[in-house]
Amino acid sequence: MRKLFSRLTWLAAGALLALILLEGVFRLLPVSMGLHRTEQFKRWPLEAYQPGQRYTYSKSWQFLNVRHGVTNNYGHPASFDYRQRSHPVVVIGDSFVESLMNSYEDTLQGQLGARLGSRESVYGLGFAGLSASDFLALSRLARDEFAPTAAVFVIIDGDFSESLLPGLGTYHFVPQGDSFRLAYLPLHGETLLKAVRGKIGELSFYRYIFGNLGFSLDSVVKFSRTKEQSKSERDASDPALLRRVIDYFLAELPSAIGVPAQCIAFLLDSDRYAIYKPESASVPKETPEIRRYFLDQAERLGFAASNLDPVFRARYASEHAKFDYWPNDRHWNRTGHGVAADEAYRLLFGAGKRECLPSMDRPRANPSQPYASP
């Protein structure tokens, strides 16, 4: 028995030493780490991550597309601080707007700010995993905090269906009669991981497994679904209910964000991999009919909207340019963000439109020249 205990002790010591060595090695590599969600859960996602955090981003086991940055005063990966009641253009979306895989100057918000001649006139408000329900909640927070003059929403496949699915730390729509209720399952309190991080700091090997490799317990363990979860998943695939979600979202949005419909631009993304190589197309979460319904309703109600698919297709046909990090990452690269920035500028400020301009700016005769200071 004593001999067995001794062997187990040596085995445990060896395993611990191996983990310590692995941690030392991974601390020398650009592991994706450093971002921790804000503890101000009532202000999320207006406040995204904790402010002033240094972070590293990389993709996959190969550490592709390494980026380093620091979050601003609202916990967003922007190169400047946001100011209350500053009347900017806000850009709202999920990880496409958060855009950790790009430098700030390459993002939609960065390039749109450059087109307006003032980078601080456009605020990016993005967070990975957001859906239409989160967009509506974020719009209300942004309205009260920044009093924007215009808004750009990046809409991707699944934004409406996923808004019906409850998830810890996110908002979701709950059907209530002929309307919906916005519900929030806040993520707050002390967790074991947070306690460990507070004591010994970040664990690089842990972040490599769960961040770079994307490992999830869900991939190896099939958790049982509650009746409520199963019903939500069925609702998310119901076309009639999705049309109601779209109607509710569009009806509520102008008052939520505090700007008129004509100063709200929707950019509807497409499956760009299907453009480059049709056999690489992904299985859509929402049908083409739902996409058309959204665009038709948005335009009927006076919103500015653009289906980016024909824009991407025309650009690819003429230049053979890639708009993302094909074949490893579907997020937009600088070129893709540039296409989106051009469309946003055209929709909101083209043909001499002035009513949606951020108030810190002044109209220019030559868009390549910066605005004069107010």
- Asked whether residue 150 falls in the same domain as residue 48, the answer is yes
Q: How many independent structural domains does the chain possess?
A: 2
Q: Is residue 359 part of a domain?
A: no
Q: Residue 268 pairs with which residues in a beta bridge?
A: 155, 307
Query: Which tokens belong to 224?
Result: 């049982």
**pLDDT of amino acid 286:** 97
Structural contact between residues 356 and 346, judged by C-beta atoms closer than 8 angstroms: no
- Asked whether residue 168 falls in the same domain as residue 292, the answer is yes
- Asked whether residue 16 falls in the same domain as residue 53, the answer is no
Q: Is residue 204 part of a domain?
A: yes
Amino acid 256 reads A
Q: Residue 329 pairs with which residues in a beta bridge?
A: 325
- Asked whether residue 102 falls in the same domain as residue 152, the answer is yes
User: Three-state secondary structure along 18-31?
Assistant: HHHHHHHHHCCCCC
- Asked whether residue 8 falls in the same domain as residue 111, the answer is no
- Asked whether residue 25 falls in the same domain as residue 35, the answer is no
Q: Is residue 357 part of a domain?
A: no
Q: Is residue 322 part of a domain?
A: yes
- Asked whether residue 18 falls in the same domain as residue 147, the answer is no
> For residue 2, what are the domain limits?
1-29
**pLDDT of amino acid 362:** 40
- Asked whether residue 203 falls in the same domain as residue 329, the answer is yes
**pLDDT of amino acid 363:** 41
- Asked whether residue 22 falls in the same domain as residue 110, the answer is no
Structural contact between residues 272 and 324, judged by C-beta atoms closer than 8 angstroms: yes
Other Cβ atoms closer than 10 A to 237: 13
Give the residue ranges of the chain where pLDDT is below 50: 218-225, 361-374
Q: Is residue 91 part of a domain?
A: yes
- Asked whether residue 216 falls in the same domain as residue 183, the answer is yes
Q: Is residue 21 part of a domain?
A: yes
- Asked whether residue 108 falls in the same domain as residue 237, the answer is yes
Structural contact between residues 98 and 126, judged by C-beta atoms closer than 8 angstroms: yes
**Which of 154, 191, 184 has its CA nearest to residue 37?**
191
Q: Is residue 360 part of a domain?
A: no
**pLDDT of amino acid 299:** 97
The per-residue pLDDT for range 233-288, each reduced to its tens digit, is 666 779 999 999 999 999 999 999 999 999 999 999 999 999 999 999 999 999 99
- Asked whether residue 203 falls in the same domain as residue 270, the answer is yes
In three-state secondary structure terms, 332 is strand
CATH classification of the domain holding 209: 3.40.50.1110
Helix (H) or strand (E) holding 190: none
* Terminal-residue alpha carbon distance, the chain: 82
CA 139 to chain centre: 14
